[in-house]
Amino acid sequence: MKRILITVLVNLFWLTSFAQTKDIVPTDGITSDLHRANVGKITFMDRNIPVEEYKETDFLATLELKQETNLNIRVFMENSITNYMHQLVPELSADELNLKGNYQFSFFVDNTLIYKENIHHGCGLRKSTTTTFRVPFTDTAGGDWWSIYLFDRFKNNGGEKALTIGTHKLTIELRPYVKMDENSDAKVGDLIASGNLNLIIKTPEITAKQIAIQSIANNSGFETSNSQYDKKKIEELNKSIHQNSFKAITSIVVIKEGKLLLEEYFNKADRNTLHDTRSVGKSFASVLMGIAIKEGYIKDENQTLNTFYDLTKFSNYSAKKDSVKLKDLLTMSSAFNGSDSNSESPGNEENMYPTDNWVKFALDLPMDSLKSNGKQWDYFTAGVVLLGDILNKSVPEGLEKYAEKKLFKPLNIDKYQWQYTPQNVVNTAGGLQMTSLEFAKIGQLYKNKGQWKGQQIVPTEWINKTFTRQIQITEREHEFYGYLFWNKTYTVNGKNYETFYCAGNGGNKIFIFKDVPLTIVITAKAFNRPYGHSQVDKIMEDYILPAILK
């Protein structure tokens, strides 16, 4: 009895102390009568409703979750997350707390915990003051919110399996967490908000027209192929895309033996759609470099950076920087301290975009003491920006007009749109938009060893170098890199099919196969989604290649 009494007193003392922990920062407070009536609740809505217009009649109790659904949450809290974290670890300052913690999201389906995640401290909420906020879980406009990727991770880690056909109760709970260091467990606080939503899951209605192979219209720029293929396989693929088993696919084009075999569009895209293929545009820097070398505007890919820039005028000068070759930038193997796969890298592309001069950003970077030029592959977007700048300075009238005259006009490509750097130079880092058929022309140009209708556009020697396994891709077995082209091998029915390809965020690809007469374009909008590239591999291995190479 005495021990129980002591335990009760200790707990009371702890609870009293916890409750008396003073806020470390001021907050926005309770912002409205609606907020006051719903403190501690997560509410659901089917669109972005500004908080000043939001009413209880807008709260969703039930929603049919479909491919085109917009699902948002708005959270009403009594305090801010910074103050909740302060209650967990009162010895830290507000700045320290905001670098070591944030919200913990827990997702339940029918009262069973499916997924839990401590969201990164950098996720975009005003932690110090915010007491109410909105985030989207789905977005038909294709926004880049961290919360959309969070909801994707929930679905990919058990959510889709749990949300079978029928009606299910989705419960979301929010708690604060603080993680002191990488080697310690996170401290997690009490529940600060929760909410429930009944989700209705139905089998998508797929029509015969959606499943059917789309007919090829005239004036494609290619002869139409009469080659036979497994139509049932392609119909199965079409069905899977419309069922959203493969997400955000917008087009598939197959060129066999130089002729157009398949031309399929999905998710509101058509023949005239300009596709944002992101880093597919990097490969165009390689194409144009090959043309510029052929015409003598650049000597060769072994020229070094100090040929084009006085590097002593930039920060962190070293002889190692002088000796970076164009080839090192073409093969993503320069020794710059830049890595897009490492968010902490000084040269990560996300650090480049906010600056007012991307070339200066790249040339100011220090060299990495652990790297040697030309020895280690590391994805480095800023290096491709340098290639674009070098081309722009070297060719007559600048890179944009040069590309139009030497590449696009000979291929009769007139539907395209560049993005630009802050210096108004075409952005070779990515973002060049074209139609699917025009991307297919670029692929087929390379399949033809640089020839188009009898004219040599790109030197065969350059394409042979591009389609050489110049360097092993770090941490990927049997995958390599050429001159801004990727390389891998698909295995179908026990046979290997090697391909060089352009690749961009979201699952955008131009495949040029080495030993079979195939060029394949796939465009998609699965930007920053974990499945963006892997679902394209599955489409290739399970559907397109088995159908075409049967």
- The pLDDT of residue 68 is 81
Q: Is the pLDDT of residue 149 over 70?
A: yes
Confidence label for 188 from pLDDT (cuts 50, 70 and 90)? very high
Torsion angle of the four alpha carbons 271, 272, 274, 275, in this order, in degrees rounded to the nearest 10 = -20
Q: Where are the beta strands (DSSP E) in 228-382?
A: 249-256, 259-265, 275-276
How far, CA to CA in Å, does 328 sit from each of 206, 226, 339?
49, 43, 14
Nearest CA to 271 among 259, 253, 257? Answer: 253
Instruction: Assign 436 to helix, strand or coil.
Output: helix
Across 350-366, average pLDDT:
97
Pairing of strands 275-276, 416-417: unpaired
Q: What is the mean pLDDT of residues 28-48?
A: 96
Rounded distance between C-alpha atoms, residue 166 and residue 67, angstroms: 16
Q: Which amino acid is at 59?
A: F
Closest CA to 115 of 73, 79, 155: 155
CB within 8 Å of 531: residues ≥ 6 apart: 152, 156, 247, 507
Residue 550 has pLDDT above 80, yes or no: no
DSSP run (H or E) holding 76: strand 72-76
User: How much is the pLDDT for 140?
Assistant: 63
> In this predicted structure, what is the pLDDT of residue 35?
97
Q: What pLDDT is attached to residue 145?
A: 80
Position 143 scores a pLDDT of 61
pLDDT band at 2 (very low <50, low <70, confident <90, very high): very low
3-state secondary structure (DSSP) of residue 113: strand
Tell me what percent of the chain is helix, strand and coil, each rounded to the nearest 5. Answer: 35, 25, 45
User: How far is residue 419's CA from residue 428's CA, in Å, rounded to a whole number?
Assistant: 8
If you average pLDDT over residues 182-186, what whole number do you get?
A: 92
pLDDT digits (tens, 9 = 90+) for 261-283: 999 999 999 999 999 999 999 99
Vertex 456: Cα angle to 305 and 442 (nearest 5)? 75
- Phi and psi dihedrals of 371, rounded to 5? -110, 150
Pair of tokens at residue 73? 């949450």
For β-strands 112-118 and 101-109, DSSP reports them as: antiparallel
| pLDDT at site 5 | 46
Percent of the chain surpassing pLDDT 90 = 88
Tell me if 340 sits within 8 A of 504, measured CB to CB. Answer: no
Q: What is the mean pLDDT of residues 380-384?
A: 98
Categorize the per-residue pLDDT at 126 as very low, low, confident or very high, splitting at 50, 70 and 90: low
The residues spanned by each domain of the chain are 24-201, 208-214+222-265, 276-443
pLDDT for 393-404, tens place per residue? 999 999 999 999
What pLDDT digit, counting tens, does each position of 55-83 carry?
999 999 999 998 888 999 999 999 999 99
Give the type of residue at 222: F
N-to-C CA span, the chain: 80
Q: What is the pLDDT of residue 127?
A: 72
Between residues 340 and 4, the one the model is more confident about: 340
User: In whole angstroms, what is the distance from residue 345 CA to residue 351 CA?
Assistant: 9
Please compute the mean of the pLDDT values over residues 11-40 and round it to a whole number.
77
What's the predicted TM-score (pTM) here? Answer: 0.84
Please state the separation of Cα 214 from the chain's center in Å.
28
Residue 329 burial by CB count (10 A; 0-12/13-18/19+): exposed, middle or buried? buried
Residue 59: exposure state from Cβ atoms within 10 A (0-12, 13-18, ≥19): middle
CATH class (in words) of the domain with range 276-443:
alpha beta
Cα 245 to Cα 203, 242, 405, 525: the distances in Å are 12, 8, 42, 14
pLDDT band with cut points at 50, 70 and 90 for residue 503:
very high
Rg of the chain on CA atoms, in Å: 27
How high is the pLDDT of residue 4?
A: 47
Q: What is the pLDDT of residues 306-334, one digit of tens each?
A: 999 999 999 999 999 999 999 999 999 99
